[in-house]
Amino acid sequence: MASMGLDFEAPPKDDRRAWQHLRSLYKVGIAFHSCGCGGPGLVPATTEALVSHLTQQLSGYVAQLRYWLVRSAPITKSEFEIDKKENWHHNWGLQKDAKGRVDAPAALAYWQGRVQQLERHIAETKKQLPKNQRDISALAYFSSAQQR
């Protein structure tokens, strides 16, 4: 059995819906750790809440992808320092070269991969929803994307 974290409590053996939900949580990397290190800090209680959480996460990933698509790389050292201070949240966690600069094509490829991976997870999770709820969650995603 996979490790779901220190705070994990297994549901009853005959509760198929709960086990299916745990399987979908495990597939997207959410675990039950009290320190918050294994996931987003919250564990969605239902599949609908999981889809909602993943679509919110997807909108953040798409915003990062848009930033890297339109970004012009700093040329001078002073531009680099200004960019480093103002856009640290876009550069955080990405690989940097010896001078501390982020390679834009590599960052773009990274965020494209993350978006595609999350879209696959959302599609797999939506398959577990009843058909009428799949349509509702898709409408919620598109309405939140239009607001941005």
pLDDT of residue 115: 93
Please write the tens of the pLDDT for every residue from 92-148.
Answer: 667 776 667 777 888 889 999 999 999 998 888 888 777 655 454 444 544 444 454
Mean pLDDT of 26-46: 65
State residue 138's pLDDT score: 46
| Cα 56 to Cα 44: distance, rounded to the nearest angstrom | 13
pLDDT at 24 over 60: yes
Interval 53-74 mean pLDDT: 88
pLDDT at 12: 85
Measured distance between the N- and C-terminal CA atoms of the chain, rounded to whole angstroms? 41
Which positions ≥6 away from 9 have C-beta within 8 Å?
Answer: 32
74-91 mean pLDDT:
80
Average pLDDT over residues 84-95: 75
Residues 23 and 16: their CA atoms lie apart, in Å, by 10
pLDDT at residue number 133: 57
Q: What is the mean pLDDT of residues 81-100?
A: 74
